Structure 1
C-alpha cells in the first residue's frame, strides 16, 4: 500500500456548498429570465476567469459593455456572492478537522477568486485550520492545469507519490493524477472515508 503523508482538499462542493442561483432567485424571480442571465451573461466561463486571477472590476466592466441593460445584476454577482455559499458540509469538515487533530498534514487547493476566498475564510473559520492553501486567483493558475498541482507540491514540500487529493470535479481529479498524486472524486463524506481508508488513512 502506498504511504500517504499529505492530504489535499478542494473546497467548493467538497467542504462548502456553492450555488449562484440562490441570490438570483430573489433578484430575478422569473425562472426563464434567471436561467438566461446565468447561462448567457454571468456564465460559468466568465466566473472562471476571476478564479484565474482577473479582478472583479475588469470582469464587471467587460460584461457591462456587452450587456448594459444587465448592469445592476452583473454587479450583484459579487455584491451578493456571500449568499452563494450558504453552508458547509459538516460531515466533510468533520473529516478535515479530525485529520488535522490526528497530526496529518492537510492543505487546500482551490479554484477561487482571491478576494472571495478571503471572504469565505471569514465565513467558515475552518478554512484557516489546514497548514496552508493554494488559491488559483493568487497564483494565476487553475485546475486541472498540471502546473497548479506542481506549484502546490513545491510550495508545501509535498511528495506527489505520497499525496492524496479529493475534488468534486473529475477533470480536476485527473489533473492531480497527471501530476503524480493519488486522487479520488468526491461525492459524499462516506465515500471520502472509504477512499482515505484504501490508502490506510482513517
Structure 2
C-alpha cells in the first residue's frame, strides 16, 4: 500500500521554534542558562500544549519565580517572536503536495491560544486537510492516545501515513504504531524523502 496522507509536525518543521535562542538575544546566554536551569519553562509550555490557559499558566509561573518573573512573562508577551520564522522550503513542500492531490495533515503539540496566534502570522496553517492540535485534544505527543486519535479520525491504515517530526521520541511512537516516518533534520532531506516516495517530482522539491 502506498502513502495516502502526509503528516507534518509544525514546530521546527514548518516554523522555527527555539526559545533558548530568543532568550539569548533578550537577556544574554548566561542569564538564560540560569533561567532555564531554575525554571522548567518547557514543562510550562507542555501544560499550555495540553490545553491550559496560556496567559494564566505563564503568569502563574512568573509569580512562583519572582526573581525571573519579567523574563518568564516574555514567553507570553512576545511568544510569536519565539515561533519564527517560517521554514520556507517546508511550506513549499506542503503546498506542492496538496497541489498534487496528496492529503496533508498537521499533528502538533500546540496550545489553543498559541495556535490561534500562529494562524494570524502564518497563513499556511489554514491549508491542511486535517489538523490535530494538542491543546484542542488535551494530549501531547508522544502519548499513543494522540496518534490513535489521528488514525480513528482519518480512517486510513497506519502504513498509509507518512509522518515527519524533529523529535526522535515522537517519531519512535509513530513507527511503533506502523506509520511510515521521517526524522526531520532539514527541509532538503524531507524533500528527498517525498521524491523517493513518488509524492513529488524532483523539480517540485526545491
The two structures have a TM-score, normalised by structure 1, of 0.90
Aligned to 1:129: 127
Give distance in 1, aligned partners of 2:26 and 2:192: 41
Please tell me whether the aligned partners of residues 11 and 110 of structure 1 are also in contact (alpha carbons under 8 angstroms): yes
Gaps of 5+ in 2: 201-206
Q: Does 1:184 align with 2:187?
A: no
Q: Distance in 2 between matches of 1:23 and 1:194?
A: 30
Question: Among residues 108, 111, 125, which one is paired with 1:110 in the alignment?
Answer: 108
**Aligned partners of 2:188 and 2:67: how far apart in 1?**
46
Residue aligning to 1:5 = 4
Distance 1:43 1:109, change over 3 A: same
Question: Paired residue for 2:19?
Answer: 20
Provide the C-alpha distance between the structure 2 equivalents of 1:97 and 1:37, rounded to a whole number of angstroms: 39
- Equivalents in 1 of 2:185, 2:72: separation in Å? 31
Structure 1: 5+ residue stretches without partners: none
Contact 2:53–2:113 at 8 Å: present in 1 too? no
Deviation beyond 3 Å, 4+ runs, structure 1: none
Superposition deviation, residue 62 in structure 1: 4.0
Measured in 2, the distance between the counterparts of 1:34 and 1:179 equals 38
Per-residue CA deviations over 1:25-78 (Å, capped at 9, x if unaligned) read: 45424x211221133225222211211222224423542343123222222211
Aligned partner of 2:47 in structure 1 is 49
2:140 is matched with which residue? 142
CA separation in 2, counterparts of 1:38 and 1:15?
25
**Alpha-carbon shift at residue 123 of structure 1 (Å):** 0.5
Q: For residues 64 and 76 of structure 2, what CA distance do their matches in structure 1 show? A: 18
Alignment match, 1:76? 74
Matched positions, count: 200
Aligned-pair CA distance for 1:189:
1.9
